[in-house]
Amino acid sequence: MASKIIGLGMYAPPKELTNSDLEKMVDTNDAWITERTGIRTRHIAEPGSPNSDLCVEAARKALDDAGVDPAEIDIVVVGTLTPDMPFPSTACFLQAKIGATRAYGMDLSAACSGFVYSLSVADALIRAGRGKKALVVGSEILSTVVDYTDRSTCILFGDGAGAVVLSECPEGEGVLSCHLHSDGDLWKLIYCPGGGTLHPYSPEMLEQRLGFIRMAGNETFKHAVLRMVEASREALDRNGVTIDDVKLFIPHQANLRIIQVVGKRLGIPDERVFVDLEKYGNTSAASIPIALAEAKAQGRFAAGDLVLVVAFGGGLTWASALMRM
């Protein structure tokens, strides 16, 4: 057996942080942000909100879309770099909150590639007979790790969650293949140094502002383009199709310029490249499942269409998946 997506859902917190708002916080302006990133606004969770609450909202919408009761779910996988706690996993909190009483759960950390990694794990577990239905969520509250005094990074990130319900299906349908990669030698391109065992929480850690995202923007851009193009071609070649066969291409929503360069190198027309980052910014692991839910709501794909997703994030990690919807 293989697995296929039978339900999609997303959630963005009501509060918005616009480019105009950021003008009041750091030395930047709306035109500069829009021109360089394509982002106009991003959604921000209320202080003290746990990530699992965002997961719940997206998960319930995906379950409703699939017509599946939470008690039918066997597997819960949450891709996130901003969990409720170091442990238990956010997946366990989500399982309890939605009443997925027979499911087992786990978190997966692969930064912005977290959803595709999580999708691959859930798909493999279904293929291995470890469950028939899975709930896969990408969810982040990045506002908790963003330095709002650093104009190079604070303009990029937002909060949100996206979810899919997977169900077993015959081979050749649904998720056709997933491709996962990492290069730990390049970890310094995107990272958050504080809060782990290397730099535990302490007054010194907070004073040195180690609990915030750090990024080498120009180098990250180059690697993101290169690796997302490679992973996209890998998925196409693996399945014996071309980019012309793909109905919709959904790249990680990090930066409009990255998306445009990747699309151009793959040779896919702009009208078949999905972009929604102007509304949400970079939501890391939530980016692709939010885009999938938005694309379905807009009628951008139909049953039987091929959809290619690809992501890139800290680690470095990158990943792709080709799916027949």
Confirm whether 2-171 and 176-324 share one CATH topology.
yes
Domains of the chain, residue spans: 2-171, 176-324
Angle of helix 256-266 relative to helix 30-37, nearest 10 degrees? 20
247: nearest Cα among 165, 319, 312, 322 = 322
Q: What is the pLDDT of residue 14?
A: 98
- pTM summary value: 0.97
Helix/strand/coil (H, E, C) string of the chain? CEEEEEEEEEECCCCEEEHHHHHCCCCCCHHHHHHHHCCCEEECCCCCCCHHHHHHHHHHHHHHHHCCCHHHCCEEEEECCCCCCCCCCHHHHHHHHHCCCCCEEEEECCHHHHHHHHHHHHHHHHHCCCCCEEEEEEEEEHHHCCCCCCHHHHCCECEEEEEEEEEEECCCCEEEEEEEEECHHHHHHEECCCCCCCCCCCHHHHHCCCCCCEECHHHHHHHHHHHHHHHHHHHHHHCCCCHHHCCEEEECCCCHHHHHHHHHHHCCCHHHECCCHHHHCECHHHHHHHHHHHHHHCCCCCCCCEEEEEEEECCCEEEEEEEEC
- What positions carry a catalytic annotation? 112, 252, 282
Kindly report the backbone phi and psi dihedral angles of residue 80, in degrees, each rounded to the nearest multiple of 5, phi listed first.
-165, 155
Report residue 69's pLDDT band, with 50, 70 and 90 as the boundaries: very high
Report residue 245's pLDDT band, with 50, 70 and 90 as the boundaries: very high
In the chain, what percentage of residues exceed pLDDT 70?
Answer: 100
Report residue 228's pLDDT band, with 50, 70 and 90 as the boundaries: very high
Q: What is the pLDDT of residue 163?
A: 99
For 157-192, write each residue's pLDDT tens digit.
999 999 999 999 999 999 999 999 999 999 999 999
Q: What is the pLDDT of residue 140?
A: 98
Across 107-128, average pLDDT:
98
- Average pLDDT, whole number, for the chain? 97
For 80-93, write each residue's pLDDT tens digit.
999 999 999 999 99
In the chain, what percentage of residues exceed pLDDT 90?
Answer: 99
What residue has token string 């949400």?
Answer: 280
CATH number of 176-324: 3.40.47.10
For 1-44, write each residue's pLDDT tens digit.
899 999 999 999 999 999 999 999 999 999 999 999 999 999 99
Q: What is the pLDDT of residue 306?
A: 98
Check: CB of residue 275 under 8 Å from CB of residue 253: yes
Q: What is the pLDDT of residue 242?
A: 98
CATH number of 2-171: 3.40.47.10
